[in-house]
Amino acid sequence: MIKSFNFTKKDEMNSVSATPIQKVKGETLTVKGAAISEKVDKDTGETIKVGYLSTTTHGMLCTISGTALQGIDLLIDFMTECAADLPEGSVEQEQVKVHAEKANSGREFVTLEIL
Model pLDDT for residues 68-108, shown as the tens digit of each residue: 999 999 999 999 999 888 887 778 899 999 999 888 888 88
Residue 10 confidence (pLDDT):
94
83 sits in which H/E element: helix 66-83
Residue 28 confidence (pLDDT):
97
Decide: 63 and 37 in contact? Cβ < 8 Å.
no
Q: Does the pLDDT value for residue 41 go beyond 90?
A: no
DSSP letters spanning 26-44: T-EEEEEEEEEEEEE-TTT
Please give the Cα distance from 64 to 27 (Å, whole number).
Answer: 19
Chain centroid to Cα 32, Å, comes to 10
Among 35-44, 59-68, 102-111, the minimum mean pLDDT is found in 102-111
| SS3 state at 112 | strand
Average the pLDDT over 28-49 and give the result.
Answer: 94
